Amino acid sequence: HIIIDCTRMKRFLTVEKEEEDNTETNAIKKAKIKRKYPSTFLTVNVNGLLSKINSPDKWKEKQTLLTYLRSANADVISITETWIPGNGSSGGSSSKKYTQPYSNDGTNKSYRESANGIESLLDSNGFLRKYARYYNCFHQKSAGVLTLVNAEEVEKPNRVRLRFTNEDKGEEEWPGRVIECQFGDDEDANRLVVLSTYSPNNGSGAESRERRRRWDDSVLKRLTQLRKEGVDFIWNGDLNVAPDGIDVKFDDIKAMENKKASDPDYGVAGFTRNEQRRFQNILEASEASDAYRVVNGERRSYTWRAYTVNKVGGKVFNTVNPGMRLDLMVVSKNLKSKIQRCYHATDDLPDTEAMKMPMEKFFGSDHCAVHLELKNMDNDNNNNNSEENEENEKETNATKEKDASDPSDRGPRSIEAIE
């Protein structure tokens, strides 16, 4: 007698179908990986992205920056001071047409080559190809913001615009300064706005101080509007303000503070009493929080460094290796409880080493990167089943390093859906 194990035979005969089912299941799982809301963010002032790409003597700066970005693998990367000339830019004009990094008609060779350089850099690095790219450009020696969104991990923003509100002058008044990405449509009660800015320097003259005041008023208006609408937001970038005394390192800090008490415009740009007061007003009116302080208390750490002395009011402050915390992550009230980490690239170094501005942390710039990590907002907002939440998060973490199979969804090569 021959005994046949039907169970084993059935398993053998159906293995091909099982493989097909597994393939389908894996495809479904991979499709679930893409989240609606980003949860990891990085901002860095590179002090001239284009020059790092085009200058042979800055090859090391470019490579260390790319290595750092690859290691971070953030959902949203906000790069400020890109110094990429805008479409048709001739040097300093502030036309809203100058926000894209190339000439639409293709006739301006130098700017077309600049655009090709940026795109070639992004395309030549496998990990950067997955990022959708949104530019606000101006001039080859001024301003510029580039926001990268990891389109393999996160759905691309529903809306991108280069101004604070529909009513303001937008690109005309603040060229190369603002990129706002909205994740989720206007009907989405849980939509998230990521506002990336390169705030103008306060300067030392009346005209530049007035310009900075108008900027702060614009930010205040926008973030307050988002609060009233119940929209979560993250305001990040080089905000060019050191919020408090613990956010600066100057040898003559006491003398400077004493003078500031009687003159609210006195001090190093970014550290005047008027700038600090307006920043605090923005936080209070929008019910927002400085994420670094939420996590790190009164820790002293600086995102900007310099080997310079500082002239203030005609007096030279003999400051060696000054530092200021100018690059910030500001989060709305609802996101405060979702903060998991917020840190500077140099937080793992003693101050004596950080002040040397090591290449692997500063990439030839005078700023280091700032990171923010939030809890997974998709789980909080869209799922009520805790077991499903846990399983989805495990799937996401397990496949974090895998490439998406559809290269057509890597995102645009320039701004799209702009208002």
CA–CA separation, 81 vs 267, rounded Å?
23
pLDDT single digits (tens) 126-149: 778 899 989 888 776 778 899 999
Q: Both tokens of residue 128? A: 């950067």
Phi, psi (rounded to 5 degrees) for 229: -85, -5
pLDDT at 266: 64
Which of the four pLDDT bands, split at 50, 70 and 90, describes residue 207? very high
Distance, in Å, from the CA atom of 167 to the CA atom of 286, rounded to the nearest integer, reads: 19
Structure tokens, 389: 């939440």
Q: How many other C-beta atoms can be found within 10 angstroms of the C-beta atom of residue 155?
A: 17
Whether the CB-CB separation of 105 and 122 falls below 8 Å is answered with no
CA torsion angle for 342, 347, 348, 352 (degrees, to 10)? 180
The answer to whether residues 369 and 66 touch, using CB atoms and an 8 Å cutoff, is no
pLDDT tens column, 159-185: 998 888 766 554 557 888 999 999 998
- pLDDT tens per residue across span 274-327: 999 999 999 999 999 999 999 999 999 999 998 654 544 444 444 557 899 999
Judge whether residue 335 has pLDDT over 90.
yes
pLDDT at 181: 96
Task: Output the pLDDT for position 308.
Answer: 55
**pLDDT at residue number 351:** 92
Q: Are 368 and 362 in contact (CB under 8 A)?
A: yes
The torsion angles phi and psi of 186, rounded to 5 degrees, stand at: -65, -25
DSSP conformation letters of 155-187: PPPSEEESSS-SSS-GGGTSTTTEEEEEES-TT
Largest CA distance in the chain: 107
Regarding pTM above 0.85, the answer is no
pLDDT at residue number 416: 40
pLDDT at residue 24, rounded to an integer: 54
- Give the pLDDT band of residue 152 (cuts 50, 70, 90): very high
Looking at the predicted structure, is the pLDDT value of residue 191 above 90? yes
